[in-house]
Amino acid sequence: MKDVRKLILDFDGISYINSSGIFAILNTHSALQAKGGECVVVNVIYPVGTTMHLLGLTKVVPILNNPQNAVAYLREHRAKKGVAELLRRLIMSVQQVSGSLAR
CB atoms under 10 Å from CB of 101, counted, come to: 7
* Residue 51: exposure state from Cβ atoms within 10 A (0-12, 13-18, ≥19): middle
pLDDT tens column, 10-59: 999 999 999 999 999 999 999 998 888 899 999 999 999 999 999 999 99
Q: What is the pLDDT of residue 36?
A: 85
In contact, 41 and 64? CB cutoff 8 Å: yes
Out of 3.30.1280.10, 3.30.750.24, 3.40.50.2000, 3.40.50.10490, select the CATH number for domain 6-102. Answer: 3.30.750.24
Q: Where are the domains of the chain?
A: 6-102
